[in-house]
């Protein structure tokens, strides 16, 4: 029997609980990654330990409490559901033994734990699928750092194959467009809100911002939207440094003051709903828009384990393996 192929689904991660203590552990790991914060290590660690971690976890825990479910973190449960659905779909596309596991760049279950599980099953090839449609050094490269570190500890690591980016994949674009078409009613304006990164990263060559705008343009074209009816903004800014612009909060206020009609917001940088979509956009973003003059607001959910997203990701993985994609 041939050795199975493994598919490692990677997401960013989440605290184990919506408590200050759990959030502090998560943030300490996340914000210590030089891919995420590229400041000199010793000064940054001093700031992190004395300024950030004593205060931010309490505020973040409150935000997590707004979106936590009885089953746990939406990012965790959503990624688990997507992983299970992806394994089922791949079984129909790839005529060979195949296992799919999930690992988080930060927090639990870790990338290392997921790789251990796959290698214990005898995986000889490993497809790494970071759930970031638009490549960035802050997300995709950070995840691959963890994958490579885990594999380097193995005397005979499997062949590693990577899906680094799928921002313009036709199947992914079609899935996004279909989810927007299924919105609860017609909208006057569609805002594409992507997670931001510091502007200095883009200036240094990170392609993320351009790929976000390309995704938005392709989806708008598929929907037949004229330029005046859609726009792009970037959310989740931290600190005082300049990030990719325009900022989502500013754009929400601007749209409320100018158009003021029915606004739909979609976040195509997130494969699965999480704190940044459910709390920052669906709750706080909605409040910002409606209290500054907007008439109506709809957050369009992430694709999660929607069949169209599952199929598009499965076909990407099958193609990376060189397998047929019929069925």
| Segment 278-325, tens digit of pLDDT | 999 999 999 999 999 999 999 999 999 999 999 999 999 999 998 644
Percent of the chain scoring above 70 in pLDDT? 98
CB 106 within 8 A of CB 33: yes
pLDDT band, residue 184 (cuts 50/70/90): confident
**What value, to the nearest 5°, has the Cα angle with vertex 298 and ends 134 and 294?**
115
At 323 the pLDDT is 60
DSSP, res 229 = G
Map out the domains of the chain with their CATH numbers.
Answer: 5-166+307-321 (3.40.50.1400), 170-300 (3.40.50.1400)
Could you write out the DSSP letters of every residue in 163-183? ----TT-HHHHHHHHHHHHTS
Closest C-alpha to 75, from 14, 118, 125: 14
Query: Does residue 23 surpass a pLDDT of 80?
Result: yes
Q: Taking each helix axis as running N to C, give the angle between helix 20-30 and helix 56-67, from 0 to 180 degrees, rounded to the nearest 10.
A: 110
CA dist 325 and 65 (Å) reads: 41
pLDDT band, residue 96 (cuts 50/70/90): confident
Closest C-alpha to 195, from 284, 134, 286, 146: 134
The beta-strand segments (E) located in 79-149 are: 98-104, 125-130
In angstroms, the Cα distances linking 285 to 193, 262, 263, 269 are 11, 14, 11, 16
Query: Does residue 51 surpass a pLDDT of 60?
Result: yes
How many of the other CB atoms lie within 10 Å of CB of 35?
Answer: 18
Q: pLDDT tens digits, residue range 212-264? A: 999 999 999 999 999 999 999 999 998 889 999 999 999 999 999 998 899 99
Q: What is the mean pLDDT of the chain?
A: 96
pTM for the structure as a whole: 0.95
303 φ, ψ to 5°?
A: -70, -30
CB 238 within 8 A of CB 275: no
């Amino acid at each position: 029997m041939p050795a199975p192929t493994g598919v490692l689904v990677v997401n960013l991660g989440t605290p184990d609980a919506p408590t200050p203590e759990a959030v502090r552990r998560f943030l300490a790991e996340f914000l210590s990654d030089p891919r995420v914060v590229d400041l000199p290590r010793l000064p940054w660690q001093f700031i992190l330990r004395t300024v950030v971690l004593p205060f931010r976890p309490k505020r973040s825990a409150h935000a997590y409490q707004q979106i936590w479910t009885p089953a746990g973190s939406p990012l965790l449960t959503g990624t688990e559901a997507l992983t299970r659905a992806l394994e089922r779909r791949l079984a129909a596309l790839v005529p060979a033994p195949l296992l799919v596991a999930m690992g988080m760049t930060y927090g639990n279950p870790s990338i290392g734990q997921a790789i251990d599980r796959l290698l214990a099953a005898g995986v000889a090839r490993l497809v790494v699928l970071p759930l970031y449609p638009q490549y960035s050094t802050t997300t995709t490269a950070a995840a691959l750092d963890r994958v490579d570190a885990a594999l380097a500890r193995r005397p005979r690591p499997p062949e590693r194959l990577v899906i680094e980016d799928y921002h313009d994949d036709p199947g992914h674009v079609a899935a996004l467009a279909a989810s927007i078409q299924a919105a609860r009613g017609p909208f006057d304006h569609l805002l594409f809100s992507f997670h931001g990164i510091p502007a200095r990263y883009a200036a240094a060559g990170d392609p993320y911002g351009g790929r976000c705008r390309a995704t938005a343009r392709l989806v708008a074209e598929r929907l037949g939207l004229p330029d005046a009816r859609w726009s792009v903004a970037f959310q989740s800014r931290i600190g005082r440094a300049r990030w990719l612009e325009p900022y989502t909060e500013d754009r929400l206020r601007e749209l409320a003051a100018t158009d003021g009609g029915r606004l739909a917001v979609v976040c195509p940088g997130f494969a699965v709903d999480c704190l940044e979509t459910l709390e920052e956009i669906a709750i706080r973003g909605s409040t910002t828009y409606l209290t500054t003059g907007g008439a109506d607001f709809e957050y369009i959910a992430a694709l999660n384990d929607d069949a169209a997203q599952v199929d598009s990701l499965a076909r990407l993985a099958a193609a990376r393996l060189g397998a047929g994609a019929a069925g």
